[in-house]
Amino acid sequence: AQRVTQPEKLLSVFKGAPVELKCNYSYSGSPELFWYVQYSRQRLQLLLRHISRESIKGFTADLNKGETSFHLKKPFAQEEDSAMYYCALRGSQGNLIFGKGTKLSVKP
Amino acid sequence: GAGVSQSPSNKVTEKGKDVELRCDPISGHTALYWYRQRLGQGLEFLIYFQGNSAPDKSGLPSDRFSAERTGESVSTLTIQRTQQEDSAVYLCASSLGSGAGELFFGEGSRLTVL
């Protein structure tokens, strides 16, 4: 089965604290994984993809095939990071399979 | 603008009525996706169009749901005999191709079934 699991519905941290949003996947073969973000009153948009190995807005995500994980991390959270974060997996048919999302709340 | 456009942005209907939701993808994007987002839930895949290939309809929840796409242009999602559980935000996205990675989303159509 092809599946994305985000175990936390809500994650609340203080400004300046490290943050890790968890994502686990189920896929046979080489996965293609993404993180999408939806800020308040904005469209859902791509944050980063694992093949680019990039850091966007201070966020990074490393694919761990052994643990089938693709956790999103940032060393020092900012208030503007508060948003809904979705982990996504490209399915074998080409569509994108999304997790249920984690709402990140960064308190001042 | 040049982004994905969806209409209507809001639709309130009575149980049992049919509704049509429209999506205008970004010009040149061959792939088009429909997702459903119920309150407090994640994005639920509905259907995926890629060029002239047969659409992937594996996510459609029942035969009351159908979608069409005209060439590589506009798509219409139709829900027949709406039920209260159909209330959700319906999101459309497009991408350059199935392997392109980045999906560009519309603002969604919020459907409320009374």
- pLDDT tens readout for residues B2-40: 799 999 999 999 999 999 999 999 998 999 999 999 987
**Nearest Cβ partner for A34 among B42, B99, B101:** B101
Mean residue pLDDT of chain A comes to: 93
Reported as a pLDDT band with limits 50, 70 and 90, residue B41 is confident
Nearest to B42 among A43, A45, A100 (CB): A100
A78 min Cα distance to partner chain B (Å): 24
In order of A36, B16, B23, B61, B93, the CA distances from B64 in angstroms are 29, 11, 19, 8, 21
Is A99 within 8 Å of B42 when comparing Cβ atoms?
Answer: yes
| d(C-alpha A61, C-alpha B88), whole Å | 30
pLDDT of residue A72: 96
Residues of B in contact with A32 (CB under 8 A): 101
Facing A98 at nearest CB: one of B42, B98, B102: B42
Give the whole-angstrom CA distance, residue B73 versus residue B114.
31
Residue B71 pLDDT: 80
pLDDT score of B100 more than 70? no
pLDDT of residue A86: 96
The residue of B26, B39, B43, B98 whose CB has the most chain A CBs within 10 angstroms, and thus the best one to mutate to test that interface, is B43
Residues on chain A touching B93 (C-beta within 8 angstroms) = 44
Return the half-sphere exposure (C-beta side, CA atoms, 13 A cut-off) of residue B72. 14
Mean pLDDT, chain B, whole residue set: 92
pLDDT over 60 at B1, yes or no: no
pLDDT single digits (tens) A30-74: 899 999 999 998 999 999 988 887 888 999 998 999 999 999 999
Contacts of B106 in chain A (CB under 8 A): 43
CA distance B62 to B85: 12
11-70 in chain A: CB under 8 A from chain B: 32, 34, 36, 43-46, 49, 51
For residue range B47-56, what is the model confidence (pLDDT) as tens digits? 999 888 889 9
Question: pLDDT at position B99, please?
Answer: 63
Residues of B whose CB is below 8 A from A46 = 101-103
Cα→Cα distances B52→A97, B1, B49, B86, Å: 22, 26, 8, 29
- Between CA A36 and CA A39 the distance in angstroms is 10
Report the share of chain B in percent with pLDDT over 70.
96
**Closest-CA residue of chain A to B100:** A94
Average pLDDT over residues A21-36: 94
Nearest to B107 by CA among B41, B23, B12: B23
Contact check, Cβ <8 Å, A101/B42: yes
Beta-carbon neighbour count of residue B45 at 10 Å?
Answer: 20
Task: Look at B107 and A43 and tell me if their CB atoms are within 8 Å.
Answer: yes
